[in-house]
Structure 1
Amino acid sequence: MSSDRPTVRHPSAGPDRRLLGGLFAALLMACSALLGAGAPARADGAGPGPTATAIVEALATAPVYVDPSFAAAVTASQQRELADRITATGLPIKVVLVPLKKGDAFDGSAKSLAAVVQERLGRPQLILLTNDEYGSWLRGTEWPEDTHQARDAAMAVGMLKELKEAGLAARVGRAVELIGTGRGTEVYKAEAARADREYAARPKAKEEAAGSTSGGPGTLLAIAAALVLAAAGAAFLVRRRRSPRHTAFTFPDAVFAADQAADEAGLRRQATTEVLALGKAVDGADPVATPGLGRALDAYDAAGRVLDAARGIPDLAGVLALAAEGRSALAAEPRLPLCFFDPRHGAAARRTTWRPLGRRERVDVAVCEDCARALHARRAPQVLAVRDQGRTVPYFEVPADRSLWAATGYGSLLSGPDDTLAARVGTGEFSRARQESEDRGATEE
């Protein structure tokens, strides 16, 4: 992810006409992009590939739609066989296999494809199996969400060794079977555990594991220190959650991030690029040699969900944090999350203890180099600002029950290796926090 970020002029600085002109041009470009980016508005556009109308009309008479470009991979006879298997389940399963490219009716997004098809079909209960942006992984989406484990069923198919060289028709058929039997999550977890065991059984992995556990007192001290810091972060988070009232952090002379329309449009494009890049990395990963593939898949799915529902810069920054979490899961060694103070700063360079002004307790956070230098110089770092209850405040000042990002510090305040941003999105914490915030706003109005 690029570490470049826009220069923020101090409010006391005089106007710069060239800067204003550049911002105006960027704003015009952003508005143009926003006006042309809505998938439903383009669903029947003139772009390449099938339109939503053509797909929905075909699904009215058969549960399987296969674009002609996929005809060799899923023949007419295989389509009929899939239709019979779907009928046998008694579930409202639909299959849509189409090529996805930037500029098509769905702007190359499997998530947009699923959303548009569901909207056009107008069915409150639907299970949709589609290919992903790269054509080799399947994506399962259902309404109501996760009722029949379609998401896990689709991901499990991509990890099954017996389907490694299988064709698209066989993969779809197995996904339909898993959904019909309700074993999607069971098989997905079993395959992820198998990949972990096979990785651990490799001689190189054993040597690395032996080396990592024979570090002597220094290693034990490092582990102990990490546990203490994690406990401190958890205690800070619990205290915030339990306390109905707390003193707001104050940042004298802090330069808050500018939440302008042009910035949001640019961040949305960046977030989309990050999700697509993570999907490509996941697609190319070796399940045996990548013990964190399951977590990377979870992060990829969660990032897509948050991107679809993002309503501003804080959520889009969360997409960046989820994408970083997925890349960390794919890496040989775990990486630090993005910068606690503002994920747009990029990857953190180190962890440090920080005591907010007006507070006694310290909290362990991951920070970028710029923020680390600011803290060392006893200056307030640049933070991600949000509007809450009519005030502009640091994002972490929002009560944790109304912001997943405040509760987790975009990854810095997670309680342990099994506590991930993707897991919290998967359990509905992102949706619940957003609904709580909306309810609170409606009550205050």
Structure 2
Amino acid sequence: MRTRAISVWSALGGLMLLLLLVLAPTAGARATGVSDAAAALKQGPVYVDPGAAGQLSKADADALAQKIKNADKPLLVAVLPANAQFPPENLFQNLRTQTGITGLYAIRLGDGFDARADRSVMSRDAVDNLVTSVRQPGADAATELNNFVDQALPTLRGSAPASWGSAGTDSGVPVAGLVALGAVVVAGGAGAYTVVRRNRLRKEAEERAALDRLRVVVDEDITAFGEELERLDFHPAERGADDAMRGDYERALDSYDRAKSLMGAVTRPHEVREVTQALEDGRYSLAVLAARRESRPLPERRPPCFFDPRHGPAADDRTWTPAGGAPRQVPVCAADAARLDDGLDPVARTVDTDTGRRPYWEAGPAYGPWAGGYFGGGMLPGLLVGTMLGSMLATPAYASEYGGGDFQGGDFSGADFSSGDFGSSDFGGGGDFGGGGGFDGGGGF
């Protein structure tokens, strides 16, 4: 503990020195160009170029930056003018190269908007879906960026880069954040350390409680899949079995073993995603095996039934409206599709809550990682919007406490990244990015 305290004071002292060094040479400087934007994003999550100051006010930029930092996620936002200093071609790639931070990059260029991400923090499809959902003709920068950040944070993997420290929003120079940090150092670094430690202990206790609830649900899922395997009337050596069938069966068994092994090693809630992803893989393998044995066309790879993933891969989509929410299309199994068509309630997966058994979408945030493994690719927020769990998923607090942190997001990788992930850019006006093949289809880096 003594060593930790000394290191904290040393870090604060170093940052105070940095404050003195930065303030003198840069106060009043006017930062422009990709290199200046990259330098600013190394210090904070939001950069507003002076040429685009009318797009996003300082107050809105500060609030947006604080939201991202509270979530501890590698999301970088740049608001730039559409001029010769920021040519659209290769803008994302150049900014990513000069920033060097693994993360999700969102750029508002003039009236246009688009985003790119390293695959380790978010898939191409997820980014594309998020951009499409927030892009609205004529939308102002504050609305568009806040909508994007709110939807991206819950599913974004990784942690914020260490270089952000406690700095505030960067609008060219991290002066405001450094001044605030200096005030903290002078006023009471020891008190700040005590608060941080208390918050960390609280977070650890909440994670343990969430994991205890998750274990019950995931163990039920693993057991149910094991029972499916036991009931399966298939033997690799049976008459008519071929190598493709044996491969499906082996993959299903491997998924079962992997789920058990992963669950045995889970120590934090976000790690449960990999367990339910393994179970989803296994159930799809069984669906393919069944189709081969019955000489049917192989099923399309679809997400599991929304109402209960134990029902297996979805057979169709149906319109469903949660209590007090808006209608949306959800993937459903054949049995639940028939029930909905007959005006009946689907067979929903219920979990324990403080008020008794409830459908998982009406439960607490602990079940977010469980659902995230089943419904990946950025589709979960859209399925759950307007529900209790969906509302919690959209908060920075959820992303911070349950969103995960064992990926490379926030690491400084410099230019060591796949340039194909970032692609070329074609920023259209009025928020229409991606027309005519821009951004390689829009989405992933």
Q: Same fold (TM over 0.5)?
A: no
Q: Which has the higher contact order (CA 8 A, sep 6+)?
A: 2
TM-score, normalising length from structure 2?
A: 0.29
TM-score, normalising length from structure 1?
A: 0.29
